[in-house]
Structure 1
Amino acid sequence: MKKGLTVIGILLVALAISGCTKKAEPVAIPEAAPYKVAFIYIGVPGDLGWTHEHDIGRQAIDTAFGDKVKTVFIENVPEGPDATRIIRQYAQDGYDMIFATSFGYMDPMAEVAAEFPKVKFVHCSGYKTSENMSTYFGRIYQARYLSGIVAGKMTKSNIIGYPGAFPIPEVVRGINAFTLGARSVNPKVQVRVVWTNTWYDPVKEREAAVALLDAGADIITQHQDTVEPQKAAQERGKFSIGYDSDMRKFVGDSVLTSPVWNWGVYYVDTVRKGMEGTWKSDQYWEGLNADVVHLADFSPLVMQDVRDLVLAQKDKIVSGSWDVFTGPIKDNTGKLRVNDGVKMSDGDLLSFDWLVEGVVGKVQ
């Protein structure tokens, strides 16, 4: 009897314990954190030029990946110590990839990249790389050359004004390509350069354009970040060639065309590689063939025979059968710099420190 009571007791205790036990609940699986991408801007997206196009590229990332990514940007960051501080802050905040979109961010980014080996750093238009820092740019000089053909055919005074930001290889290369294009169809063309020593300053950009118009230019082009030089030309009843974005959309048909950026092609591919774990440091420098640069639509004021010339030359560049900096090329002192049939190397292009024949100005 005692044994039977003991068994019943054990069963009652077991039932009591099982009754007190909570039923298992589904385990919530946390969603993967978004891939965090930061952009450092020299200007503002509203400049309608350089920064505007980078921000369009950033938005392409959001469109491509949705909530799998988180992109942020900070604008108007000066080149120098402020850039170092901001890049470092993004790295400390756990951002996976950081893009710096101006040449002067190169040294600040290199410094921070050495401190955060797991973060991917990507610098626009520079040349310093490391295991976790790469560079990118586009062969915008190809589109510059094509726009020069338009200007060379459309000018009446044979004087073209060119406000330029800084006398560094990137800008010098663009001036030279534009001038070679213009003089390929009109050897009488002079391209007059005024240095503003700023990437983004609407007032200085306008002042430079006005000075060039006063000196007889009937077409204005630029290596500047805003539409102010384009507006100055329009107000004088003159033509212009834009840069960075299709500036005809913002100014009107006096803008004959524009060499433009298509950064989304590069940004989406680079972020995808980062997310997939296949990203590697490299030096990206593609051109018309990759559609990272192109020439904007022509103004209705550009004649059909001019359009045909441009498109024929574009086909030659895209095919790889010819490129812009193929000799003979003289500098603006008359010295032969590139022999007939010789194509300048990328190393030479990336260190350009002289101006071609037809440019009125100096590399200071």
Structure 2
Amino acid sequence: MSLERTLALAAALTLPLQAVAADDPLKVGFVYVGPIGDHGWSYQHDQGRKELEAHFGDKVQTTYVENVNEGADAERTIRRLAQAGNDVIFTTSFGFMNATERVAADYPDKTFLHATGYKQAENLGTYLSVTYEGRYVTGTAAGLVTESNVLGYIASFPIPEVIRDINATYLGAKAVNPDIELKVVWVNTWFDPAKEADAANTLMDQGADVIIQHTDSPAPLLAAQKRGVWGVGQASDMSHFAPEAHLLSVVNHWGPYYIDTVQAVMDGNWEPADYWGGISDDVIQIKEINAKLTDEQRAKVEGVITAIKSGEFHPFTGPINDQGGTERVAEGATMTREELATMDWYVEGMTATIPK
């Protein structure tokens, strides 16, 4: 066989294989710390996954793994997804950070995105929703409706994301109610309905008449309605669980980010970045503000939303002192992403302590 005929045959045999490869769907994997039925954080990430599927149709094939423990289980799960041929892998909890970094180093041809962390590489980016914007709005609404001037916050783990959200809640409330006190109960879990309900009841026993949570089940909201106080929905719209108690929900809308990221990978122009999506990006949404608020109260809440969305106002613009009275943010200055990402202190006026 001549050399020319050999080359022509090889080219002909290669064409069908290339066509099949081009038609293969992009495989996208998701790792969730909780169940998709938590109606909170993991539920909303899964809603984003469904938006991704709806947008791309048969151009993508998604897989998810729920209830993944942070630590060795996370690394095994992420590695299995890489070995299974997933081209893009989203890991959606702070505690997955080190595991994601290790697996990404072993699979340089795949793209990894880690939610709420800070470690990056050539094939590893980070992303988060700017929940502190929603918490500031929450604090504003809570400070307006409270009668006891005591707010209760159910906190998951003492990581910067949770600490800055507690601070934002307090600052928002303090701006409209100088007599406010914010009590905090740490539960050391993202999802445990029984623990969350117990924490809510503990806070209500201490006088809190608005319950705010950084955990993922509707149990605190249900406990609030049972005792006739206000509650705030976490990550998804929780108004239908306890409509009488529901003050508002701070909703994480992940679909746009997942769609844009996967499109960038498909187009070959994805680059690692530290994405922060907030109210102006529609990644943070304020849903179902209770109709029982007065027109004046609603106007104040919506005014804060508008100011944050337009960029006119940032919740962490100084002057801001820490709990000990030391200036952390000068008057007129705004905290940088790096400063916010490492926040490990409470603002002045907070009486709670941060666990070590």
TM-score higher than 0.5: yes
Contact 1:246 1:258 in 2 (8 A): yes
| Residue 164 of structure 2 corresponds to residue 182 of structure 1 | no
Cα distance in 2 for partners of 1:332, 1:354 equals 7
CA RMSD in angstroms comes to 1.4
Contact 2:225 2:244 in 1 (8 A): no
> How many Å apart are 1:235 and its aligned residue?
0.7
> Corresponding residue for 1:305?
296
What's the TM-score once normalised by structure 2's chain length? Answer: 0.92
Q: How does 1:99-248 map to 2 (within 5 A)?
A: 99-248=90-239
- Which of 57, 69, 77 does residue 78 from structure 1 map onto? 69
Contact 1:39 1:101 in 2 (8 A): yes
Cα distance in 1 for partners of 2:33, 2:247 equals 27
User: Which structure: larger Rg?
Assistant: 1
Letter in 1 for 2:102: E
> Corresponding residue for 2:345?
354
> Corresponding residue for 1:98?
89
- Structure 2 residue matching 1:176: 3-state secondary structure: helix
- Structure 2 residue matching 1:250: 3-state secondary structure: coil
Letter in 1 for 2:286: L
Moved more, 200-209 or 183-192: 200-209
Contact 2:221 2:241 in 1 (8 A): no
> How many Å apart are 1:149 and its aligned residue?
0.7
Contact 1:189 1:358 in 2 (8 A): no
The answer for unaligned runs of 5 or more in structure 2 is 1-15
What's the TM-score once normalised by structure 1's chain length? Answer: 0.90
| Residue 32 of structure 2 corresponds to residue 41 of structure 1 | yes
Q: Deviations over 1:280-300 (max 9, x none)?
A: 111101211111112112111
> Corresponding residue for 1:24?
none
Q: How does 1:285-300 map to 2 (within 5 A)?
A: 285-300=276-291
> How many Å apart are 1:315 and its aligned residue?
2.0
> How many Å apart are 1:209 and its aligned residue?
0.8
- Which of 326, 351, 357 does residue 317 from structure 2 map onto? 326
| Residue 242 of structure 2 corresponds to residue 251 of structure 1 | yes
> How many Å apart are 1:116 and its aligned residue?
0.4
> How many Å apart are 1:58 and its aligned residue?
0.3
| Residue 62 of structure 2 corresponds to residue 63 of structure 1 | no
Letter in 1 for 2:275: Y
Q: Deviations over 1:39-94 (max 9, x none)?
A: 00000111111111001000001100111110110110000011111111111111
- Structure 2 residue matching 1:91: 3-state secondary structure: helix
Contact 1:253 1:301 in 2 (8 A): no
Q: Deviations over 1:326-350 (max 9, x none)?
A: 1122333444332222211211111
